[in-house]
Structure 1
């Protein structure tokens, strides 16, 4: 199991224990999930990185590649369904702090707008 599979495994076991308990062979399942995430990270990295630039040195390309990899990992992990909060969990109640509640409502509206725009 690669590191992506291990992260998905640990996250699911900790934050989605009911879902985790229903997986017949967690090691095999998360090994496959890890490979899927790795493939998506690689695809995103290549897309973000693009071709070598005409005036780019090997060192600049290497640094840009590391940055593209970090961004690709962040995007792939943030979008993977196994690394999302359990939809059955209730949202936290911020009503005792009106400023914080307003802030989280604004963030939820922004997130909703971004999801519908995509």
Structure 2
């Protein structure tokens, strides 16, 4: 028969084993806590990028992973940014140098991750700042004409043009071949308007704005 001390010891071991088994059997993802970098980024997106935030299928997971990547990058950057100890450096001087390195590392890591990405533009602001306007499309069409005729090489490709304008390949090819790109654009204004809507959706929800 076990003594009181032995019984208590056995109960303690059982409790520890039960706790370890519970932790081990819990899915790892559910145990991940969002660090302060992830929390800061999520709050920024909720306030300044609500449309992009709503596009995320799992914001908790997204910002938890982002925070972890930022923390890793900060830890990797600090030694490089801080450099070696200075000869005769006082304790407070070293603390100041390391703090400055940490702040700079955080700035770099958060910028690389898009944690504090620029606030979303409203539709009017976007239309005033986008470079994909009708005038720039017409300029593209004349340059593509020159390129297709062999008169100049502007480095234009159909793939890049499709991606930039979000227009069908046939539309771009026919516009570049038209005697008057302006008239062609006017005759196919509905396709242009669809492109505008698609680009607005793309740009207004892009994390890297």
Q: Shared fold by TM > 0.5?
A: yes
Contact 2:41 2:115 in 1 (8 A): yes
| Deviation (angstroms), 1:55 | 2.3
TM-score, normalised relative to structure 2: 0.39
TM-score, normalised relative to structure 1: 0.63
- Superposed, 1:1-118 pairs within 5 Å as 1-86=34-119, 89=122, 90=125
Mapped to 2, the partners of 1:82 and 1:58 lie a distance apart of: 33
| Deviation (angstroms), 1:68 | 1.3
Q: Which has the larger radius of gyration?
A: 2
| Deviation (angstroms), 1:58 | 3.8
User: Where does structure 1 lack aligned partners over 5 or more consecutive residues?
Assistant: 94-118
Deviations 1:73-117 (A, max 9, x none): 2333344324221565526x8xxxxxxxxxxxxxxxxxxxxxxxx
| Deviation (angstroms), 1:45 | 1.8
User: Where does structure 2 lack aligned partners over 5 or more consecutive residues?
Assistant: 1-33, 129-209
Counterparts in 2 of 1:48 and 1:38: CA distance versus 1, 3 Å: same
Mapped to 1, the partners of 2:47 and 2:93 lie a distance apart of: 40
